Amino acid sequence: MATDDTKIAILGGRGMLGTDLTKICGRQSFNVEVFDLPEFDITNSRQLKEALNAAKTIVNCAAYTDVDGAESEAEEAYRVNAEAVGRLGELVKEANAWLLHISTDFVFDGRLDRPYVETDTPNPINKYGKTKLAGERFLTQSGCRHCILRVEWTYGSAGNNFVTKLIQRAKVDKTLKVVDDQIGSPTATTEVAKVICKLLRTKPAGLFHFASAGYVSRYEMAEFIFDKLSMDVNLLPCKTADFASAAARPLNSRFDCSKIKALLDEPIEPWQVPLERFLRQI
């Protein structure tokens, strides 16, 4: 079967980011084919080859994303986030294709006192972050044509995330504790998808950070959400150390997005704007 040079294969196309990316690619007249569970498994080399037979441009949104679950299912997380990504890179190189791979702020330990740039040394503090970093490194070692896009604090309509979980909790419990020492940029998957579509047209090489503009704590984000939804919630600030969780979380997830801004033809919106749009839709 001849490869279609105009087609884009989206791996993990039914996940939170993949769903929005598929929709926005469709609106922008990209020719898209979606590959996802249950019929597609990124750890299956034969199925990876079939995806490469379908398209010369690949976007990999497929990942093991259960941060706490990765602590007890480290081998599975490694198979999906590291080994499979390395194999994908090898196949992309063989096919002379181009790959955009999604990574995460969790490759950093969150101890830096400024926003992270792409040249900062990663130092993940949980198993999920370690598997994602291994995937980045395997991909680079493969020598394929690729771009890595690190994103953070993502939310969207097609998956569980901080925003939807918070709203669900508030329907049951009118007093909620939210951490005020984790700082980052809430980033809508619709915004990530728009940026990916721009990168698909130019196919840059290298590593990029993307997040909505501005920074906020999880607690201040919760305040914003409940204010916009006019929900009566007794919101109490607390520290990350007060919560028992399987996986450690980085406290500083701030990204410096100067590098990717140079590739975009319009400014990155402040985090409040897409979040308010999202809240109006739900």
Q: Which residues of 195-234 are buried (b: 16+ CB within 10 A; e: fewer)?
A: bbbebbeeebeebbbbbbeebbbbbbbbbbbbeeeeeebe
Query: 230: part of which helix (H) or strand (E)?
Result: none
**SS3 at position 206:** strand
Bond from prior residue into 122 cis (ω within 30 degrees of 0): no
Q: Which residues of 113-128 are buried (b: 16+ CB within 10 A; e: fewer)?
A: eebbebeeebebbbbb
**SS3 at position 112:** coil
Could you say which of 128, 155, 215, 219 is catalytic? 128
128 is catalytic: yes
Catalytic residues: 128
